[in-house]
Amino acid sequence: MQKTKVAIIGSGNIGTDLMIKILRTSERLEMSVLVGIDAASDGLARAKRMGVAICHTGITGLIEMREWEDIKIVFDATSAKAHHYNWSFVQKYEDKRIIDLTPAAIGPYLVPPVNFDDHTDLRNVNMVTCGGQATIPMVAAVSKIAKVHYGEIVASIASKSAGPGTRANIDEFTETTSKAIEKVGGADRGKAIIILNPAEPPMVMRDTVFTLSEQGDREAIRNSIHEMVAEVQKYVPGYTLHQEVQFEDISEDQPVFIEGLGHRHGLKTTVLLQVRGAGHYLPEYAGNLDIMTSAALATGERLLK
């Protein structure tokens, strides 16, 4: 099978992990160029050792390389602000697509097992955030069975797995994830919280998902959640339920107040998740980074189908 050549912009943790995933596991993508802005970065040094072309002058330098003509997909693993700049160049080339791993959200939100088929013809798609990739499938799973009024997610990640890019984009993380809970997950209202846990030894990614929905068949909701977990596991094997799904009735005479919606009652569903990374470049505890790179890789490969 002839592979499609790709470039990655961003030589930090996420970009380097994605590069190694493509080199080791992809049957459809061929790693062409890793791009950074720090000539001394570990990512660029590692790429050079692995026989991958490198560029330390950003998107403008990439466009000047002879490899640029054959590249069809660009993965952006930089920052929300940098993605706006990078897209201003890439969008001029109609034969190229960009998969955005930042919270910039210029293109529509994409969570592979939920709404991939809606965006197969677009040139810029956004992978939301690590918390969004982990939790939105669970909100969507509940939405398949019962109307979701409110979805709230708490993503707890090891402090050591949060690099400068993640830390600089905390506000964008919460805003982007909250919006995607609504637009992709199907909730009327969404809220996202991220916790950087400094525990030693570092903990694996843990995510808690709360939904308040109309009353629905609990067994059907539980089955929908298990089916969605299985779908995510196809590209993130370390994605698991940490405990069984929990339900609680919120009675009509004791409703909860949700900002923007008022008082609501119904069925509260709690999903507790754990995400363990594959350990390709980063430690296993960095499941938050692994789920982003895995989702981006799965998106790139499915776009070629």
Active-site residue 130, yes or no? yes
Angle at 83 between CA 81 and CA 87, to 5 degrees: 135
* Whether the Cβ atoms of residue 55 and residue 8 lie closer than 8 Å to each other: no
What is the length of the chain?
A: 305
Token pair, residue 270, equals 């709690």
Helix, strand, or coil here: 199? coil
Encoded amino acid at 71, one letter: I
Q: How far apart are CA 116 and CA 305, in angstroms?
A: 12
Helix, strand, or coil here: 55? strand
Q: How far apart are CA 10 and CA 182, in angstroms?
A: 29
Residue reference for tokens 């119904």:
266
Q: 218-233 vs 130-143: helix axis angle to the nearest 10?
A: 140
Q: Any residues with CB less than 8 A from the CB of 12 and at least 6 apart, and which?
A: 36, 41, 43, 77, 163, 164, 165
In a 13 Å sphere around the CA of 290, the CA atoms on its Cβ side amount to: 25
Helix, strand, or coil here: 12? coil
Sign, CA dihedral 247-251-254-255, equals positive
Query: Of the listed 35, 74, 80, 130, which one is catalytic?
Result: 130
Give the 3-state secondary structure of 237-293. CCEEECCCCEEEEECCCCCEEECCCEEECEEEEEEEEEECCCCCCCCCCCHHHHHHH
Residues belonging to the active site: 130
